[in-house]
């Protein structure tokens, strides 16, 4: 009976725990692993020894995620130069009814924020994510980090300065107008209209499977968009981490996914996913075939 009760209680916390792990790790598979690890630990623990199961599970997931991040740094793996954060993608036909999809969208975090979080130290990331995004008190975070509360506050403050200014427009309909204008101009080969949709300091990060290629500046990004526009590559509206984006199909198969950050009516950041392994995983999630298989 206790195991059944624990399983039910865990399921009530699963979405929250995944949200913590995903923001910490920027990887859907690693976030799922961290949540599963939390369940295994809970299942081996006496429930009457835990005062607050939700807080206990949050602490476990945070510690597991922190260890994963520190392990990455030790091995010199998975920096922002090597990978993009995993996106969450939902086709946007304006009729999203699935409860899981609605929950994901309500709890979404922008790709722009995840990109910045990937540039923080593991301790900075934990302090910022837990305190600023999930309102965990600094005293509790300090215990996880084996630091003083003041030191933990400083970590979060440094992270906050890095994150500042990365908040995108939240009106998805307004975002969609800008993204649609961008692709219409690209199809027409109209560089002036393209540049008008882009912030002068726009950044495009593209993952083709061999590391990240970065393009900076409106003219360079616009030129890249015209070069890749092709009649056989069809764009379909999607919500990428809750913001206006697209999936691109080639002869009906998933070719790439693009996420956009729109601020004050201009595109400031673009993340383009075309790495074969990642596209294959996204295609499976969306019920499509991959053009890279």
Instruction: Answer with the residue of higher pLDDT: 3 or 29.
Output: 29
Confidence of residue 80 (pLDDT cuts 50, 70, 90): very low
Counted residue by residue, the chain has a size of 293
CA angle 9, 101, 103 (to 5 degrees): 45
pLDDT of residue 78: 46
- 275 — phi, psi (to 5°)? -65, 130
CATH among 1.10.286.10, 3.20.20.120, 1.20.140.160, 3.90.550.10 for 1-74+121-165: 1.20.140.160
- 49 — phi, psi (to 5°)? -90, -5
| Mean pLDDT, all residues of the chain | 89
Which residue in the block uniquely carries the two structure tokens 């020894």?
49
pLDDT of residue 164: 81
**Pairing between β-strand 198-207 and β-strand 212-216 as defined by DSSP bridges:** antiparallel
92-141 pLDDT per residue, tens: 876 555 656 655 555 678 898 998 999 899 999 999 999 999 999 999 99
For residue 116, give Cα distances in angstroms to 152, 204, 271: 19, 14, 13
**Contact indicator for 268, 203 with CB cutoff of 8 Å:** yes
159-198 pLDDT per residue, tens: 999 888 666 778 899 999 999 999 999 999 999 999 999 9
- Rounded CA-CA distance 99/101 in Å is 5
- Rounded CA-CA distance 159/66 in Å is 15
Instruction: Answer with the residue of higher pLDDT: 223 or 232.
Output: 223
Please state the domain extents for the chain: 1-74+121-165, 172-286
CA angle 204, 209, 215 (to 5 degrees): 20
Confidence of residue 1 (pLDDT cuts 50, 70, 90): low
- Burial group, residue 2, by CB count within 10 angstroms (0-12, 13-18, 19+): exposed
For residue 167, give Cα distances in angstroms to 110, 151, 164, 244: 8, 26, 7, 14
Closest C-alpha to 244, from 64, 67, 128, 94: 94
* Count of other CB atoms within 10 angstroms of residue 27: 20
- Average pLDDT for 259-269: 94
196-220 pLDDT per residue, tens: 999 999 999 999 888 899 999 999 9
Give percent of the chain above pLDDT 90: 68
- Host H or E run for residue 64: helix 53-75
pLDDT of residue 94: 63
84: alpha, beta or left, given left = phi > 0 and alpha = psi -120 to 50? beta
Q: CATH number of the domain at 172-286, please?
A: 3.10.450.50
């Amino acid at each position: 009976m206790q195991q059944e009760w624990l399983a039910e209680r865990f399921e009530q916390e699963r979405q929250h725990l995944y949200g913590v792990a995903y923001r910490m790790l920027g990887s859907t598979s690693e976030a799922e692993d961290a949540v599963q690890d939390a369940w295994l630990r809970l299942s081996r623990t006496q429930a009457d020894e835990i005062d607050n199961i939700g807080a206990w599970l949050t602490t476990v997931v945070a510690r597991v995620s922190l260890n994963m991040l520190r392990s990455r740094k030790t091995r010199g793996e998975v920096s922002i130069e090597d990978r993009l954060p995993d996106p969450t993608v939902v086709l946007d036909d304006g009729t999203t009814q699935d409860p899981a999809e609605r929950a994901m969208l309500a709890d979404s975090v922008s790709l722009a924020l995840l990109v910045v979080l990937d540039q923080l130290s593991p301790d900075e990331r934990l302090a910022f994510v837990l305190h600023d995004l999930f309102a965990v008190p600094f005293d509790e975070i300090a215990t996880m980090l084996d630091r003083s509360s003041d030191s933990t506050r400083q970590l979060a403050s440094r992270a906050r300065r890095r994150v500042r200014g990365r908040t995108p427009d939240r009106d998805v309909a307004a975002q969609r107008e800008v993204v649609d204008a961008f692709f219409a101009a690209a199809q027409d080969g109209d560089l002036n209209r393209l540049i008008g949709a882009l912030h002068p300091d726009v950044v495009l990060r593209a993952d083709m499977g061999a590391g990240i290629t970065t393009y900076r500046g409106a003219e360079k990004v616009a030129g890249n968009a015209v070069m890749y526009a092709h009649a056989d590559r069809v764009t379909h509206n999607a919500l990428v981490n809750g913001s206006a984006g697209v999936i691109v199909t080639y002869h009906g198969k998933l070719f790439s996914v693009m996420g956009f950050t729109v601020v004050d009516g201009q595109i400031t950041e673009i993340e383009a996913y075309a790495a074969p392994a990642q596209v294959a995983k996204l295609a499976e999630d969306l019920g499509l075939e991959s053009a890279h298989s």
